[in-house]
Amino acid sequence: MDAEIIKLDQEGKQNILNYHRYQKNENKSDSYRCVNRKCGDSFYHKTMKRNQIEHYHSQMSQCEVDCLVQLKSLMQLVSVDHDIRLEEAHNRHYQLLTEKYLHKEFAEFWKPFIGIKCSLRYHTNKTKPKNPKSVHDIEINNVYATINYEPFLQFDN
Ligand SMILES: [Zn+2]
């Protein structure tokens, strides 16, 4: 097996091998199974050993793979950059796809912003700090807690 594994996320939960998408079996396990639950094809990451089961379904096209990679990288972007507008982030990845494909070629694999907005919002909110419920939840770091080496008044009663 000489194909390269394409990682779809930082945690290594999903990847693509030979135009098929795989899902990690358990957190600690090194084995990946085809995301198509009925399929049963799997492999071990370290040894790259596959079981004897062949995929019964068709593989992804290069275009579909690229769309998936862009989607995952979009999710990653909005979860680390909380300042970027979701629509702009989406558009940025859409643009990258248009450099390689015509719109009609990837339209079936790439969701318009409206169809993915909720999911993007979920990913960006997941990594945002929680809104404080009371004053005690607000942490003021050292930079703002002193002015001219004097601690500034943080509470006015
Ligand atoms: Zn499969």
Instruction: Give SS3 for 80.
Output: helix
Model confidence, pTM: 0.79
Instruction: Give SS3 for 111.
Output: coil
Per the DSSP assignment, residues forming a β-bridge with 150 are 147
Tens digit of each residue's pLDDT (9 = 90 or more) over 105-122? 999 999 999 999 999 999
Cα 97 to averaged position of ligand 1 atoms, centre (Å): 25
Window from 14-28, 47-61, 126-140 with minimum mean pLDDT: 126-140
Instruction: Give SS3 for 33.
Output: strand
∠ CA 100-102-106 to the nearest 5 degrees? 90
Residues 92 and 85 sit within 8 Å (Cβ to Cβ):
no
Strands of 8-149, DSSP E: 14-17, 20-24, 31-34, 42-44, 146-147
- Which residues, including other chains, have CB under 8 Å from residue 154's CB and lie 6 or more apart? 140, 145
Cα 106 to averaged position of ligand 1 atoms, centre (Å): 22
Cα 53 to averaged position of ligand 1 atoms, centre (Å): 9
Token code pair at residue 62: 């290069």
How far apart are alpha carbons 109 and 20 in whole angstroms?
Answer: 15
Cα 25 to averaged position of ligand 1 atoms, centre (Å): 14
pLDDT for residue 33 is more than 80: yes
Strands of the chain, DSSP E: 6-7, 14-17, 20-24, 31-34, 42-44, 146-147, 150-151
Q: What is the mean pLDDT of residues 5-24?
A: 93
How far apart are alpha carbons 14 and 16 in whole angstroms?
Answer: 7
Cα 15 to averaged position of ligand 1 atoms, centre (Å): 13
CB atoms closer than 10 angstroms to residue 104: 7
Cα 3 to averaged position of ligand 1 atoms, centre (Å): 16
pLDDT for residue 16 is more than 80: yes
